[in-house]
Amino acid sequence: MNPYEEIKYLRIHVIDSCIEVETHISILLGAIIKIDWENSRTLGHKSGGLSFNQKVYMIQDIESISNEMVNKFTCLMRIRNKFAHVAAINTFERLFANTKVGKEVQKNLIKWYGDTFKKDNYKSEEQWYLRLFDLLQDELIGFLVDIQYEYHVKGFN
């Protein structure tokens, strides 16, 4: 893959991963409020629906979520917003180097997942950071699925 294709792939991967998290949030919110989320004006894909950030804030309001999980959702939202809305942010390196938010994201990714995989095992730091991002996404989806499971087994009180 040439460098241009790698950058294009990275942006698509980040946005697609965040869409997957957003879908799990919508499914959970739909289950909580007992609506068909896909056909909902607020949770579905209609133009007037809630934003990704608003859906995350709703999950935070409904569930008692630890501060660390809130920080992880916030981290994902920040990565998503920069990759989706700032043309110059098309690598993790640029995110970290060119934005105040990026420096905090970098610090948190390393703190949460940096010991999971050795940086030396990757061709570049960029690939290592992509792997850390994937771990963040996986953890958040697992967290949301666990809440969905609890809802179906125990119901919400």
- Tens of pLDDT, residue by residue over 91-132, are 999 999 999 999 999 999 999 999 998 888 888 899 999 999
pLDDT confidence tier of residue 3, bands split at 50, 70 and 90: low
User: Domain total for the chain?
Assistant: 1
| pLDDT over 80 at 73, yes or no | yes
Span 39-61, mean pLDDT? 84
pLDDT confidence tier of residue 83, bands split at 50, 70 and 90: very high
pLDDT, residue 111, reads: 96
Span 26-55, mean pLDDT? 86
* Residue pair 7/13 in contact by the 8 Å Cβ criterion: no
| pLDDT over 90 at 60, yes or no | no
Mean of all residue pLDDT scores within the chain = 88
pLDDT, residue 67, reads: 87
pLDDT confidence tier of residue 19, bands split at 50, 70 and 90: very high
Domain residues for the domain of 33 are 3-154
State how far the Cα of 80 lies from the Cα of 74, in Å rounded to an integer.
Answer: 10
Span 83-90, mean pLDDT? 92
Span 7-24, mean pLDDT? 91
With a pLDDT cut of 70, the percent of the chain lying above it is 92
